[in-house]
Structure 1
Amino acid sequence: MRLKLGFVPLTDAAPLIVAQALGFFADEGLTVELSREVSWATVRDKVAVGALDGAHMLAPMALAANLGLGSEPAPLIAPMALSHNGAAVTLASRLLPAEEPDAAGLARLVRRRKEQDASPLTFAVVFPYSIHNYLLRAWMAQAGIDPDLDVRLTVAPPPRMAELLAGGVIEGFCAGEPWSTAAATRGVGRLAVRAGELWGHAPDKVLGVTDGWAGEDPARLQALVRALLRAAAWADSPAHRAELAHLLAEPQYVGVEAAVIEEGLRHIRFHADGANVPKLQDAAWLLEQMVLWGQAGAGLDIKAAAARVYRPDLFEAATTTPIR
């Protein structure tokens, strides 16, 4: 069975990359081509029209696309979760003193700039419908910063974040690893908060496919989920961390120094504690964030919307066969 799967160059694309490199796809009878994509919108659109069979995908993006938020409605579903806790907020090193790379320090700076009628500071997130957007907003709001009025938010591809920070185009960003660590290693950024520090088990990426594709050949989907589950378990092992970092560092994958990738790997959960189950409560929480920040209407039927996209039934069907 031939499949084409998309990914964005991030550390948490590891399950797809590991499954390909270590032969886990092949063990399930799958011939897979991995496609390195430039943006999340491209991933969404290619999966929606069938140019990709599936992809490493932002969990909130799959939910938003199903609802027709930010795009034409697309029947995307998530039969498997791929990672938790990959997001982090990074501030420009020039922005605050080294002892104040926190929300309180940023709030004081924002207030001073407003008093001086200075232009708002600009911060980037990877996509409007992303855990990264919600993390940055919540972190700012806790310090009394209104992310819609006190600062300017924009969208940029994850691999460009450190470059934009260094060039003075943005003063901070929220993205997945390795881009926060890369900015810190270059000396242009300081890490302010990680998703896991604020929320504990922040849902981040899922396997995204269309409902129609999933229904065409259930055995094919089950084989894909089994291979990725095996890869996620491998990637989560501290014993494999250095090997994984070197694999991801290859230019066709993430293309960043292995040492930078390895540092960020310590903060991502790929498999432990049921991280791969597409939990309906995770979907509901993400939908609540959309309502909170005005992306979805207050009348949204959250329970129904979550159940259309997050499919623990498909995950269970795939995992009734023991992992090899």
Structure 2
Amino acid sequence: MTGPLRIGFIPLVDAAALIVAVDKGFTAVEGLEVELVREVSWSNVRDKLNIGLFDVAHLLAPVAIASSLGLGHVKVPIAAPFNLGINGNAITVSPALHAALMEEIDGDRFDPLATARALARVVAKRRKAGAEPLTFGMTFPFSTHNYQLRFWMAAAGVDPDEDVRLVVLPPPYMVDSLANGHVDAFCVGAPWNSVAVDLGIGHILHFVSDILVHAAEKVLAVRQTWAEKNSETVAALVRAAVKGAAFIEQPENRIEAARILARPERIDVDAEVVQRTLDGRLKISPDGAMRESGRYLLVGREGAGRPDPAQAAWLYAQMVRWGQTALSPEALVTAMGVFRPDLYDAAVGQSAGTADAPGGSFGAFAGPAFDPRDVAGYLASFDVARRAR
């Protein structure tokens, strides 16, 4: 191809491997000229990728699957040769909702089943009092944030379509929406949960790793037809992203990586907030309480960069569970085919079958173990669900 690669991204820390790959010159070493384009909403990123205004995108994993299936928009098959992040989201609640949940909780406040049951009691009290339903912000209908919120609530019998309101907000707008009282809580990626806590307007209730130990979050996405025509470029970009991830995962590089990501043209927040995210050490309450987790965001370690088709299958299963599509063996195959470990392996010189991949171990706090070979059986185990219309 000729000309610079145009790559769209949203200002989130899970774009780190991509941003560092460009700004540290790893893409240049691979012979690539790259223009990173900052966007606000996932619909903008998806649409510009689909019509060719972007060659590559930092994209929500479920959007890549939905695009390939033609759900919610035009059908454009997507290939994801690199996984930009495992985990990285959190659920943040307003001080008022946090107080209400803590008043109702019975058990460990970091146990998602205990908080979900507390939420169910809060919802019931509000209904009895004639109050408006609680409003939760999430980033997109086809998003991990949507599915993670639903998975958490539904484990305690809270129906996310009947008992609360779920609304779509671009990630950078979450904090203002909480401050203005437009939402009572939100699920979003870093750094926006930490920004809300630092402003004194939110409490981080859960890291997503409390809900799912290992959950694919964002992918490096390309149109399938473009990938076929530009295989060498795809391989070079994957290698650069692998180098970016490896740089970030070295503790001695965290300060520099945080400064790169914090720049105004990148994420545009304080570097210290970004570093907290990369270190997995976050302030969770305005009073300064801290919480550490080595699983908050995995950028490169534990094989995080290699796409795992079982993760795509789980995301497809959530689409079916919540009525966004009907279960189809053909669609499941298509969904799993979006995550391309073969392209990753070819780029890094790894033999198929030798990679250190999670193999679908999600570690969900509730429900049965997920088996992509029996999606129907998995879905049948849940009481709260929706049928596609």
User: Is the TM-score greater than 0.5?
Assistant: yes
Please give the alpha-carbon distance, in whole angstroms, between the structure 2 residues aligned to 1:217 and 1:8: 24
Residue 317 of structure 2: which of 276, 282, 288 is its match? 288
Is the Cα–Cα contact under 8 Å of residues 284 and 302 in structure 1 kept in the other structure?
Answer: no
Report whether the alignment pairs 1:204 with 2:217.
yes
1:140 to 2:153 alignment: yes
Contact persistence 2:309–2:337 (CA under 8 A): no
* Worse-matched range after superposition: 307-316 or 293-302: 293-302
Deviates more, 1:23-32 or 1:240-249: 240-249
Match of 1:189? 202
Give CA-to-partner distance per residue, 1:173-231, whole Å, 9 cap, x none: 00000011111111111111111121111110000000111011211111111101110
Residue 195 and residue 148 in structure 1: after superposition, are their counterparts in 2 closer, same or farther (change >3 A)? same
Q: 1:169 aligns to what?
A: 182
What is residue 277 of structure 2 aligned with on the other side? Answer: 264
Q: Where does residue 310 of structure 1 map in the other structure?
A: 339
Give the Cα separation in 1 of the matches to 2:92 and 2:148. Answer: 12
Q: Is the 8 A contact 1:122 1:152 kept in 2?
A: yes
> Which consecutive residues of structure 1, in runs of 5 or more, have no partner in the other structure?
none
Cα deviation digits, residues 45-80 of structure 1 (max 9, x gap): 111111000011100110011111111111111111
TM-score by length of 2: 0.80
CA distance in structure 2 between the partners assigned to 1:107 and 1:258 by the alignment: 37
Root-mean-square deviation (CA, aligned residues, Å) is 1.6
* Contact 2:68-2:335 at 8 Å conserved across structures: no
> Secondary structure of 2:45's match?
helix
Q: How do residues 69-84 of structure 1 correspond to structure 2 at under 5 angstroms?
A: 69-84=71-86
Q: Out of 140, 145, 166, which is 1:127 matched to?
A: 140
State the secondary structure of the residue aligned to 2:203: strand
Secondary structure of 2:99 counterpart: coil
Tell me the SS of whatever aligns to 1:72.
Answer: coil
For residue 109 of structure 1, report the CA deviation from its aligned partner: 1.5
Secondary structure at the aligned position of 2:325 is classed as: coil
Task: Give the residue type in structure 1 aligned to 2:342.
Answer: D
Q: Runs in 1 of length 4+ with deviation above 6 angstroms?
A: none
Q: What secondary structure sits across from 1:301 in the alignment? A: helix
Contact 2:11–2:172 (CA under 8 A) maintained in structure 1: yes
- Select 1:228's aligned residue among 215, 228, 241: 241
- 8 Å CA contact retained: 2:310, 2:336: no
Post-superposition CA distance 1:13-60 (Å, at most 9, x none): 111110111100100000000000111011111111110000111001
* Residues in 1 aligned to 2:76 and 2:40: alpha-carbon distance in whole angstroms: 20
Q: How many pairs are equivalent?
A: 322
What whole-Å deviation, never above 9, does each CA across 1:135-188 have from its counterpart, x for those lacking one?
Answer: 111111122211110001010000111110010000000000001111111111
Partner of 1:93: 95
**Bigger relative contact order, structure 1 or 2 (CA pairs below 8 A, ≥6 apart):** 1
Which segment drifts farther, 126-135 or 27-36? 126-135
Amino acid at match of 2:325: A
Q: Secondary structure at the match of 1:245?
A: helix
Give the letter aligned to residue 265 of structure 2.
Q
Q: Structure 1: how far apart are the matches of 2:336 and 2:132?
A: 43
CA shift digits 1:250-309 (9 cap, x unpaired): 110001111222222222101111111111111111111111111120235354123431
Provide the residue aligned with 1:151 in structure 2. Answer: 164
2:14–2:218 contact (8 Å) kept in structure 1: yes
C-alpha contact 1:126 1:175 (8 A) present in aligned 2: yes
Q: Supply the distance in 1 between the matched residues of 2:301 and 2:96 (Cα, whole angstroms).
A: 37
